[in-house]
A = this chain, B = another copy of it.
Amino acid sequence: MTELHQLPASIAAKKIQANELKSEDLIRSCIERIREREPITQAWVETNFDLAIQRAKYLDRSTNLGILHGIPFGAKDLFDTHDFPTRLGSAIYENNHPNSDATHIALMRQAGGVLLGKTVTTEFATFKGGKTTNPHNPEYTPGGSSSGSAAAVADDMIPLATGSQTAGSVIRPAAFCGVVGYKPTYGKVSLGGVKSLSPSLDTLGSFTRTVSDAALCVAAMSGDTQLATINKIKKKPRIATCLTYDGELASAETITAIHHAALLAEDIFKTKAPAIQLPTIFKDMSALQGRIMWSESARSFSFEQNNHSEQLSQQLKGLIKMGSAISYEQYSNDLIVAEKARATIDQLLTESWDILIAPSAIGEATKGLTQTGDPIFCRVWTLMGLPCITLPLYTGPNQLPVGVQLVAARGRDALLLSVADALMQA
């Protein structure tokens, strides 16, 4: 029997609206699950169960506030909250108590969502792993940087959690933990109240167990409430697989997953899903993404570097140094090349293809907690600002999840969700 904490948010929300379920009962079930599993999974930096129950009781008495009425969620501890500390995965911000909520959190609360707590992020959403373990096997990384959000949702602690991606920080942990990770089109969700890393790349997204919930979560985060309704597909989508120029890094399980996903899509949509390669301008795009990311991040960490250098990890200090060494001229040129590539992919993804099926990560989660894995298969899509979703469709040799990533043209989030939903249902 499905327990309350296992319910998808979209179903729970309907039940709450129909007076068939109390928010308080749903949230108590989630709390119980957290108490049971948190000693192993370690997904949370801070929770406030009393506050959540109090809020749930209020919502159970009040009229419907919006699409998340009574639904619990978690937020990455990189995002400002007025009632929880915001530590950004760094001792520098141990006592950081913002006076407001990040825009997307305020919008989720406005829609009736109940913030249960803050989830673990790696150090400033970069690469140094935190305490969180992979719910499928605690010896393996949950991925990062949105480690706690991915793990909490995978472990049925909460149905919805928010995260951010600058390279691969939504898609990779979602793939490693076996949940749906959705990074909408760049700019879709406000970055207000979010620690800035690389403003040209930073994008907020969701962790959920179903595609409907991904749609619901980002609908609330962005204020685009219509996105919550997944449309029926009217026209046969043109689907291709694409390993990018980094394809040789993909593990056998990832190659197999892409192959199976293509067959599945062909079967569902009665179409061919051929393998394509990106235009040659994309050859160096992953390296270019890295340079833009660290050139901008080096500037974004200027305050921490100049005032709290001793509390930054050696790893992050090395990356900041590397970023600082990139000339502004190189950075400007990289931005221009990226914009050209964006025009190219916009054309390719409107004129020739609707959806690309691509790897979410190199393979299964890697062993150990100090590193969170390689974001290589997300770099290009993040730089292009395209909407991406990873689906937990397969399992690898270590019995860990293997995700498959779907990518669409900028702004075509609704289509992406429709195709993703069809694949997940099948």
Give A residues with C-beta under 8 Å from B: 82, 92-93, 95-96, 98-101, 103, 106-107, 109-110, 187, 190-193, 195-196, 199-200, 223-226, 296, 299-300, 302-304, 306-307, 328-329, 332, 336, 411
Contact = CB atoms under 8 A, between A and B. Distances in A.
A302 B226 contact: no
A306 B101 CA distance: 11
Contact of A196 (B92, B193, B302): B193
Given A98-B98, A192-B199, 13 more contacts: A82-B303, A92-B99, A93-B99, A103-B302, A106-B302, A106-B303, A110-B302, A187-B199, A190-B199, A192-B300, A223-B328, A224-B328, A225-B328
28 contacts: A92-B99, A93-B99, A95-B99, A96-B99, A100-B303, A103-B299, A106-B303, A107-B299, A109-B306, A110-B302, A187-B199, A187-B200, A190-B196, A190-B296, A190-B299, A190-B300, A191-B191, A191-B196, A191-B199, A192-B195, A192-B196, A192-B300, A193-B196, A224-B332, A226-B328, A226-B329, A332-B411, A336-B411
Nearest to A227: B328
A306 B106 contact: yes
Contacts of A195: 192
The complex is assembled from copies of this chain, and their number is: 2
Listed residue (A95, A195, A303) with the most chain B CB atoms within 10 angstroms of its CB:
A303
A65 B38 CA distance: 47
A6 B299 CA distance: 31
B299 A223 contact: yes
Nearest to A197: B192
Contacts of A411: 332, 336
A291 to B, nearest CB: 14
Contacts of A192: 195-196, 199, 300
A411 to B, nearest CB: 8
Nearest to A296: B190
Contacts of A200: 187
Contacts of A190: 196, 199, 296, 299-300
A307 B187 contact: no
Given A226-B328, A302-B103, A328-B225, A307 B199 contact: no
Ranked 9 nearest A-B pairs via Cβ: A192-B196, A106-B303, A106-B302, A101-B303, A100-B303, A224-B328, A96-B99, A223-B299, A110-B302
Nearest to A299: B223
Contacts of A304: 100
